[in-house]
Structure 1
């Protein structure tokens, strides 16, 4: 199975000036664990995850004053839609992260998470009747 089969095409993109509270609210509303942070001044993209927000809160920082830019990972590993799920899982394991931004011809087309991969690999995806059989 390939990344394109597992990735979420519901991609939340925010700006670097969004506060962590705003980012968390948007992530919660869309039920996603990561937001792509696009900085038009640098033409670069990074990723802000649930873990980044939790780490900031755990450090006692104010989510109404902390910006996405201050907590964004900019040294991002990107996946291609044609990668196998094994390749994506290996990249996540090697890098110690749970989300990969998926690029196709330098355009963001999705995000694949550990959860997406598990859903594809899990026998629970099969119909319940098939499991009972």
Structure 2
């Protein structure tokens, strides 16, 4: 049986933001779309970072002002990415090794976001099939 590709389970569409956006604006967008991570892209649409809900915990702990703090100041960079044709097993190992819970999926542009929730959902669905 062939391995499942990341493209089959990734979250789409992915929310992308610019490095100069404020954390406040991004937080509202994340809340409104009920997502926990965004890909940060430059003017050429290349991924340059990732910002997650965990980053917002640090912002709160640091008592930073989200209306004055930019994404670039708090994003994880450089960003690690994975391709849509990578297998779920490869992606799982990469996330475990890196300690990340989210990774942008890139095929020229950012085409999705793979999360540990996506992998868990896939595992549960596969186990009951």
Quickly say closer, same or farther: Cα 1:120–1:41, change in 2 above 3 A. Answer: closer
List aligned pairs for 1:63-82, cutoff 5 A.
63-82=66-85
Quickly say closer, same or farther: Cα 1:39–1:112, change in 2 above 3 A. Answer: same
CA RMSD of aligned residues (A): 2.1
Quickly say closer, same or farther: Cα 1:41–1:70, change in 2 above 3 A. Answer: farther
Report the counterpart of residue 52 of structure 1 in structure 2.
55
Normalised TM-score (structure 1): 0.85
Quickly say closer, same or farther: Cα 1:122–1:42, change in 2 above 3 A. Answer: closer
Per-residue deviation, 1:70: 0.3
Q: Which has the larger radius of gyration?
A: 1
* Structure 1, unaligned runs of 5 or more: none
**How many correspondences in the alignment?**
126
Report the counterpart of residue 33 of structure 1 in structure 2.
36
Higher relative contact order (CA 8 A, sep 6+): 2
Distance 2:12 2:47 in 1: 20
Per-residue deviation, 1:41: 8.0
